[in-house]
Amino acid sequence: MTQLLPLSADEVLATTRAVRKRLDFDRPVEDEVLRECLELALQAPSGSNAQSWRFVVVTDPDKKQALGELYRQAFDIYEQLDGINAATIYRGDDPERLDQQQRVMGSARYLAERMGEVPAMLVPCMPGRTDAAPPVSAAAAYGSILPAVWSFMLAGRARGLGTSWTTLHLMFEQQAAEILGIPFEAWTQVALVSVGYTKGTDFKRATREPLETAVSFNGWDFDD
Ligand SMILES: Cc1cc2nc3c(=O)[nH]c(=O)nc-3n(C[C@H](O)[C@H](O)[C@H](O)COP(=O)(O)O)c2cc1C
């Protein structure tokens, strides 16, 4: 098995950052290491233990380049629209949060320019299409694959890999399906995870909103 970094489970959970600028674009990621991470990903839960997930690993330079180009085009649109979904953009006036958002956008732009060069990509897919599915179905569908994706990223962190969860290429999901030969009508892509070794392995805990702003016990005790 690959040598693991000396990190506790809590440290892995707290320091698995979206790695973009600190990605080592020149060091290939061994298939063996990717397989180890995927073996762990398959330990994740899925609704009714269906395990009806598919993971497409992309290391072929031409395919990465083609997906990278789609991603960059999508990122351009995203920037122009100031974020596709208002809920994913911070619109408050806390200078620290605004500063953080600025940094994320700068880092995201950097990855967008170089997406086609990342050492590996992971495209997780779930069965069927959820277009217009009711919440009970959509939650089961996405909930049956997204935990596995995060497990993959955590397993990568423990092995010195840096990942970034991305979704923007889904603006062009059908074109991406054609590049990878994914049967578009039968399988929905849920993300494009960039993968590479990190430059250095020391990553910090992120600054997040205080727990009280996101958690209440025994009922909804929030202002919104
Ligand atoms: C559902 C989802 C979609 C995301 N889409 C993108 C994306 O398209 N491009 C990108 O660069 N980062 C994307 N991210 C990464 C977020 O920007 C990142 O997780 C967030 O800024 C927190 O980063 P940190 O954990 O390193 O602090 C996405 C994350 C999630 C969970």
pLDDT digits (tens, 9 = 90+) for 108-148: 999 999 999 999 999 999 999 988 899 999 999 999 999 99
Least confident of 93-102, 121-130, 195-204, 206-215: 93-102
Query: How remote is the CA of residue 35 from the centroid of ligand 1, in Å?
Result: 23
Cα atoms found within 13 Å of the Cα of residue 12, Cβ hemisphere only: 19
| Residue 81 Cα to ligand 1 middle (Å) | 17
Is the beta carbon of 42 within 6 A of some atom in ligand 1?
A: no
pTM for the complete prediction?
Answer: 0.94
Q: What is the residue extent of each domain of the chain?
A: 9-206
Say yes or no: CB of residue 166 within 6 Å of ligand 1. yes
206 CB near ligand 1 (under 6 Å): yes
- Rounded distance between C-alpha atoms, residue 154 and residue 41, angstroms: 9
For the segment 17-27, what is each residue's pLDDT rounded down to a tens digit?
999 999 999 99
Quote the ligand 1 centre to 104 CA distance (angstroms). Answer: 8
In the numeric block, which tokens belong to residue 123? 């495209």
Mean pLDDT of 104-109: 92
Whole-number average pLDDT of the chain: 94
CATH entry 3.30.365.10 includes domain 9-206: no
Burial 59-85 (b: 16+ CB within 10 A, else e): beeebbebbbbbbbbbbeebeeeeeee
- Contact of 37 with 155, CB cutoff 8 Å: yes
The predicted pLDDT at position 102 comes to 85
